[in-house]
Structure 1
Amino acid sequence: MSQDMIVVLDFGSQYTHLIKVAFDSIGVPTEIVPADLKYRDYVRDGGRQLKGVVFSGGASSVKLNEIAFDRDWLETGLPVLGLCYGHQLLASLYGGSVGKEQSEFGDTKVDVLETGELFAGVQQRQITVWMSHNDSVLSVPDAFRVIARSASGAIAALEDPKRRLYSLQFHPEVSHTESGTAMLTNFAFRICGAQPAQKWTPQAFVEQKIPEIKAFVKDRRIIVGLSGGVDSYVMTKLIRRSVDKDQLIAIYVDSGLMPTQTEFEVERFCADNDIHLQVIREADRFFGDLTGVTESFQKCRVIGKAFIDAFEVVAKQQRAEVFAQGTIWSDVVESGVTKFSSQIKPHHNVGGLPERLNFDMMEPLRYLFKDQVRKIGAYFDLPDYVVHKKVFPGPGFAIRVQGEVTRERVALVRQSTEIVEDVINNSPVSRDVWMAFSILVDVPSLGVKGDKHVKNEQAIVIRAVESTNSMTANFSRKVFPYLAEISKKITDQMEIGRVVYDITDKPPATIEWQ
């Protein structure tokens, strides 16, 4: 018996997979397909009880007409929900106009003018939503009505109930949008008439994934890249549950670019979970390869290759035929590997991989987000230092050093980050902060210490954000009371002449600077 399903046409949004996560959370299966897929090719496979269609956001402009969209999707009579780019596309296809009027990014106030069907049950007349757009709908198509506007006057929501067409300029799938889940619930159940199925749970994921891992690995040996982040910890625990002890070897590569405590934590984790660990000392190789490299994308590629080279050496020594790494969906999306997405940055374990590998690759967490990975860790009863581990970039401190990466410059950003983390992690707001760290900017700073001018000291930027899955983030206001203490400790203890705080959300900025 087929389940009710909603299909998501992916126009390249960084948040497309969040749409799936949101619908999964309310028990509605979804399928993501490229936006240029023809309707007849989709239904040819059969076996689906399709109840509705979602047009995702995207990096392109409707005015450029870069994506070949099949209008047969609109002739099905199925309810359609357009989000961001999809909102503008619907308006354009039905005779409205789209153009550059008012860009909006991040938290934005929206006035609900009519409850309509999408906003049924939403009590507030003004809500905070997550915007990320340059173009706007300038004129309303016939038979559509405006049911919400942003504070700037931009058309934030449209609906045509007779033709069952609905659109939102903002992203209800993003956790920052108030009542976003209610809007998607209204679309799925009230408008589409879908029947709920099983919701995503960590237990269901693990029970499904273990047999898949067993079938993939078989009796072969497998090495896992254990970086010390929550993704790699949870992945390693999942694989350990799936294979015999002697099949699995965890590899920690000492790149010289990681926090001081990481190796100790990795050793503790492997000892507690009965996992073979091999530590590879490669700091000289990493710093040597990074000599003269200043461009951030190239840093990731260099680091990715150095990691893979190290893993391939161990795989050959151990006669391992399978390699696993803790890639998650935000890594994939930001690396621009979906059909219409834009590359934000090449993650070292996605954009840095060579085309040919000497082992079979496995990424069991690839389609999950960080908050889901943490739930799996909690399901495994992993300790707090794993489940609540602050996010740290795989390429390490190299991408928090602007300009050339040297041991001395990495030491500066490591020490300043330890000061930031020591203050924040010992404060009442620690659990509210997704990441708190420092960036060594390539700008000299004139200072005054001991009644003397001090030339060419370094400048440090402090970045602290709040997020649930790293796809969106707000700079943290909760750390304001602690910034003076952080600044004083850094300038007192280090050759740093200036400390500043980054007050930019994602979007428009990324969380990391590089």
Structure 2
Amino acid sequence: MTSPATAPDSTPRPVLVVDFGAQYAQLIARRVREANVYSEIVPHTWTPEQMLARDPAAIILSGGPSSVYATGAPFVDAALFDAGVPVLGICYGFQAMAQALGGKVAQTGTREYGGTEVEVCSAGVLLADTPTTQTTWMSHGDSVHAAPEGFEVLATSSGSPVAAFEDRGRRLYGVQWHPEVKHSAHGQTVLEHFLYEGAGLRPDWTADNVIADQVAAIRAQVGDARVICGLSGGVDSSVAAALVQRAVGDQLTCVFVDHGLLREGEVEQVERDFVAATGVNLVVRDERKRFLDALEGHSDPETKRKIIGREFIRVFEDAARDIVAEGHEHAVHGEGSEVKFLVQGTLYPDVVESGGGEGAANIKSHHNVGGLPDDLQFELVEPLRTLFKDEVRAVGRELGVPEPIVARQPFPGPGLGIRIIGEVTAERLEVLRRADAIAREELTKAGLDGEIWQCPVVLLADVRSVGVQGDGRTYGHPVVLRPVSSEDAMTADWTRMPYDVLSVISTRITNEVSEVNRVVLDVTSKPPGTIEWE
């Protein structure tokens, strides 16, 4: 298997966000990107040499749950601060910086959680043009009591004798609060002061530049070879396909796999919206029996994901052979040559959740990351691998991808196969498809499509509950509604939907889908629950 890392590196020098186990590490990376500066997350287990090997433009040390003086607590090697790279410490990262450089960190006996007022005693670089008294968001039990030599104290609070400091000469900065959280009134300003003034970076990481960089990288990677793209009709694969088509034109053939795990109207949407707008070469493969046969007897979610990922690749391999053998009428460029590349709409959250990166936990194997077979015959082209979902949408709009696709709710590659808790069968898929279609129709009628990030409908196929319908006893399946709000799928909260909309959805499903006699609502945030149940 050829790693996507073999593709030319088209990304700019990153701002590295060092994750000390913070619940907000991904949010820090997002806020940096909102300032139009590229960022990546790396684990705290990396050495300074590993970090510096990435040629970072700046480094941000995240918060975390530990105490810097506790046995086994993560620490920062002081050598990092002598490398000449601008560094910002946040919360735990702030304390770790202070300790590593000779400052004093201790418990104050006063914990600060939530909204906290800080007093600015010297604006410096970080707090320039912000109020002398401002509301911040804190979460700590330890505090910096004395700044390291050479640092200027910028702010204090009732529980933090040193709430912010900086050493402008060495370009080292830190704050006790969480500027990445919206509850910190001037948090984004503080981050931008560090990025623009402290680190001297320019806000030039935009959708236009992403497109230009990726088009150049794709052309360099692919050359004049032929390429296929697994097109699902979702946001990710559609934008990836449009980006590759911009780069290599008719060298690209898109393969739409009808694996039987799709929602109602998926094939029609791809042909009507995407193909009509882009003119992309499209091959549709009816592989419903193949996937259902492969999934028969399997109920473990990781097993199902890996089976689906494997069968996707096998279908793409078959499609590639057919394209070459038949000289597909649209794939005229390089006709008869081998198809060497496979385009996938892999995103940054997919990589993180699949354990992509040293020290990252494998939360679940995404079919296009951890679910790929070891004997993959293609080289991967993954132009969206460093992007969050909303950044993909911005790139898609810039490329002219139709709005119904760009604005579409995310839908997982394994489809309804991971929304059936239990074995996947044709009968269970039909039940879930009908329930899902009702939920989507009512959400659209209520004008909630723009408010809800995603609303998976989950069939608890191995669970039955007693009900009564038409004066008779039923023993049917429950379905779960999982409406969530999110910016990038890394974190999410359940959406507070109007009760009348929930009532209509529940009534329609139990009336129109005879196999279902109970509709329940999932009110779990992420974390601790993932958006999809499997």
TM-score range, shorter chain: 0.7 to 0.9
Query: Is the 8 Å Cα contact of residues 224 and 324 (structure 1) preserved in structure 2?
Result: yes
| Residue 54 (structure 1) aligned to one of 56, 60, 63 | 60
Aligned to 1:86: 93
Matches within 5 A, 1:180-259: 180-189=187-196, 192=198, 194-245=199-250, 247-259=251-263
Q: Deviations over 1:329-374 (max 9, x none)?
A: 1111111111111122110111101223212111011101111111
| Residue 375 (structure 1) aligned to one of 388, 394, 404 | 394
Aligned to 1:503: 523
Distance 1:91 1:198 in 2: 29
Distance 2:130 2:363 in 1: 34
Distance 1:167 1:309, change over 3 A: farther
Distance 1:330 1:296 in 2: 19
Query: Is the 8 Å Cα contact of residues 329 and 367 (structure 1) preserved in structure 2?
Result: yes
| Residue 264 (structure 1) aligned to one of 257, 265, 268 | 268
- Correspondence 1:279 to 2:284: yes
Distance 1:88 1:480 in 2: 46
Aligned to 1:138: 141
Q: Deviations over 1:392-424 (max 9, x none)?
A: 111101111112222222222221111111111
Matches within 5 A, 1:48-447: 52-56=58-62, 65=72, 69-74=76-81, 80-83=87-90, 86=93, 89-90=96-97, 96=105, 109-115=114-120, 137-143=140-146, 158-161=163-166, 165-168=173-176, 170=178, 172-173=179-180, 179-189=186-196, 192=198, 194-245=199-250, 247-268=251-272, 269-317=274-322, 318=324, 319-441=338-460, 442-447=462-467
Q: TM-score, normalised by structure 2?
A: 0.80
Residue 230 of structure 1: CA displacement? 0.7
Distance 1:284 1:507, change over 3 A: same
Aligned to 1:26: 35
Write the letter of the residue equivalent to 2:275. C
The count of corresponding residues between Structure 1 and Structure 2 is 488
Distance 1:59 1:496, change over 3 A: farther
Distance 1:230 1:147, change over 3 A: farther
> 3-state DSSP class of the match of 2:518?
strand
Distance 1:64 1:253 in 2: 53
Residue 40 of structure 1: CA displacement? 5.6
Write the letter of the residue equivalent to 1:23. V
Residue 266 of structure 1: CA displacement? 1.6
Write the letter of the residue equivalent to 2:425. T
Distance 1:260 1:332, change over 3 A: same
Distance 1:501 1:147 in 2: 44
Query: Is the 8 Å Cα contact of residues 251 and 277 (structure 1) preserved in structure 2?
Result: yes
Residue 480 of structure 1: CA displacement? 3.8
Residue 276 of structure 1: CA displacement? 1.6
Distance 1:232 1:177, change over 3 A: farther
Distance 1:119 1:55, change over 3 A: same
> 3-state DSSP class of the match of 2:455?
strand
- Largest Rg, 1 or 2: 2
Distance 1:341 1:44, change over 3 A: closer
Distance 2:34 2:67 in 1: 30
Q: Percent identity?
A: 36
Distance 1:363 1:405 in 2: 29
Residue 39 of structure 1: CA displacement? 3.5
Distance 1:446 1:233, change over 3 A: same
Query: Is the 8 Å Cα contact of residues 135 and 184 (structure 2) preserved in structure 1?
Result: no
> 3-state DSSP class of the match of 1:347?
coil
Residue 259 of structure 1: CA displacement? 0.9
Residue 6 of structure 1: CA displacement? 4.7
Give unpaired runs (5+ residues) of structure 2: 1-11, 148-152, 325-337
Write the letter of the residue equivalent to 1:139. D
Distance 1:402 1:148 in 2: 50
Query: Is the 8 Å Cα contact of residues 298 and 422 (structure 2) preserved in structure 1?
Result: yes
Aligned to 1:513: 533
Aligned to 2:5: none
Query: Is the 8 Å Cα contact of residues 36 and 206 (structure 2) preserved in structure 1?
Result: no
